[in-house]
Amino acid sequence: MPVRQVKVGIIGLGRSGWDIHVRTLLRPMLQPLYRVVAVTDPIRSRVEEAQQQLGCRALPDYEALVQDAEVELVVVASLSRDHARHAIAALRAGKHVLCEKPMATSLADADAMVRAAEEAGRILTVNQQMRYLPDTRKVLEVVSSGKLGRILLVRLAAHSFGRRWDWQTLKEFGGGMLNNWGAHLIDLGLLFLKGEPQVFCQLENTPLYCGGDAEDHVKVVMYAPGQPLIDVEITHACAFPQERWLVMGTQGSLTGSPQRLTWKYFDPRLLEPRTVSKEPTPDRSYNQEDLPLQEEIWERSRDTTTGYELLYLDLHESIVQGKPPVITAESVRRQIAVLEECRRQSPLYAGG
């Protein structure tokens, strides 16, 4: 039985629209499943390039694209500030939508997108592809195994030391590291929390942004009673980058990068029973001992399948077979609520 090919229209052919979505859709495993039939972008040379390489139609604006009768799935890869407007227009035109992150730049916009999808009976999903990455899945697997015991803290970091001066450094376009990297790492942190957490956030704008007014240093702490503390740090101001992952538990810890993870843990059943002593220690030292730790290491395989491909594979099953989407708009809404609370707490967004 032949596979049904989903027809795609793409709004925006910048770094995300072209380098992520077009290139992903051209990967061999996805070519039988999808075909780009229409694109739009304000820059004429970009749509001409798409016409030549993809054989698709170049449409004048997003209104024309969402009304195109052949388009079934609209990929929204426009400026962050325009995501909600473009996604809602596509949903109301009866299209399924894959929206780039951040899903929206306000919680009100995210809620409007969810309502539009429900009213249209169409799929709305978001490119939270880091949920699919092998290291994310391995960390969740190790945590779920119980080897680390009760999880006390999950720390996620994206560190660098450098400068940027593109549109994503400007608040007027929905820029800043909170929307850029925070939309990924806060999303991952929420995988370890249930419900709506308490949030503490520090946002800083440093000279590293060369005049941009958005944040380039982000610290977010999320907490809910009886659950792990989630510590997210994103910055352009760290000349000593730390590992992406650090997980602390009552029986062990995990650390590492997207390429390599290490975890050490002990089996409490193997420990000799101890009782607390109120007496002075015989040697004026401490009553303490090293724990018998086991160590395991995971290294990413050479499989070149990306999180983007896995997202598109799941989305095809949702569109064609009616399976529930793996990344629901409702799950991403939790992240948008945290991002909004961070901005509410920051003087950078006072009055905004």
Alpha-helical (H) ranges within the chain are 23-25, 44-54, 62-66, 83-92, 107-120, 134-145, 177-180, 182-190, 307-321, 329-345
Can you give the residue range of the structural domain that contains 68? 6-126
Residue 174 and residue 278 in one domain: yes
Residues 6+ apart with CB under 8 A from 307: 129, 130, 131, 132, 133
Residue 115 and residue 146 in one domain: no
CA–CA gap between residue 190 and residue 332 (Å, rounded):
10
**Domain membership flag for residue 319:** no
- For residue 178, the Cα-to-chain-centroid distance in whole angstroms is 11
- The identity of residue 246, as a single letter, is L
Residue 142 and residue 81 in one domain: no
Q: What is the pTM of this model?
A: 0.93
Residue 74 and residue 175 in one domain: no
* Residue 1's pLDDT band (cuts 50, 70, 90): low
* CATH number of the structural domain spanning residue 217: 3.30.360.10
**Domain membership flag for residue 328:** no
Residue 80 and residue 170 in one domain: no
Average of per-residue pLDDT across 32-46: 97
Please tell me the number of Cα atoms within 13 Å of 231 on its side-chain side.
12
**Domain membership flag for residue 312:** no
Residue 94 and residue 225 in one domain: no
Residue 117 and residue 141 in one domain: no
**Domain membership flag for residue 92:** yes
Residues 6+ apart with CB under 8 A from 152: 228, 229, 248, 249, 250
pLDDT digits 0-9 by tens, 216-274: 999 999 999 999 999 999 999 999 999 999 999 999 999 999 999 999 999 988 888 88
Residue 61 and residue 136 in one domain: no
What is residue 352's predicted lDDT score, i.e. its pLDDT? 54
Q: Among candidates 109, 139, 91, which has minimal Cα distance to 339? A: 109
CA–CA gap between residue 4 and residue 55 (Å, rounded):
19
pLDDT digits 0-9 by tens, 4-27: 999 999 999 999 999 999 999 999
pLDDT digits 0-9 by tens, 307-352: 999 999 999 999 999 999 999 999 999 999 999 999 999 999 986 5
Average of per-residue pLDDT across 207-223: 88
**Domain membership flag for residue 196:** yes
Residue 166 and residue 115 in one domain: no
- Whether the pLDDT of residue 89 is over 80: the answer is yes
- The identity of residue 222, as a single letter, is M
Query: 16 in helix, strand or coil?
Result: helix
Residue 188 and residue 231 in one domain: yes
More confident position, 274 or 191: 191
What is residue 4's predicted lDDT score, i.e. its pLDDT? 94
Of the three residues 126, 145, 166, the one that is the final residue of a domain is: 126
Average model confidence (pLDDT) across the chain: 94
Residue 187 and residue 221 in one domain: yes
**Domain membership flag for residue 298:** yes
Of the three residues 104, 126, 148, the one that is the final residue of a domain is: 126
- Quick one: what percent of the chain has pLDDT higher than 70? 99
**Domain membership flag for residue 331:** no
Structural domain total, the chain? 2
- Whether the pLDDT of residue 163 is over 90: the answer is no
β-bridge partners, 294:
265
Residue 139 and residue 90 in one domain: no
Average of per-residue pLDDT across 73-96: 98
Of the three residues 126, 145, 179, the one that is the final residue of a domain is: 126
**Domain membership flag for residue 322:** no
Whether 3 contacts 9, CB under 8 Å: no
What is residue 202's predicted lDDT score, i.e. its pLDDT? 96
Average of per-residue pLDDT across 284-309: 89
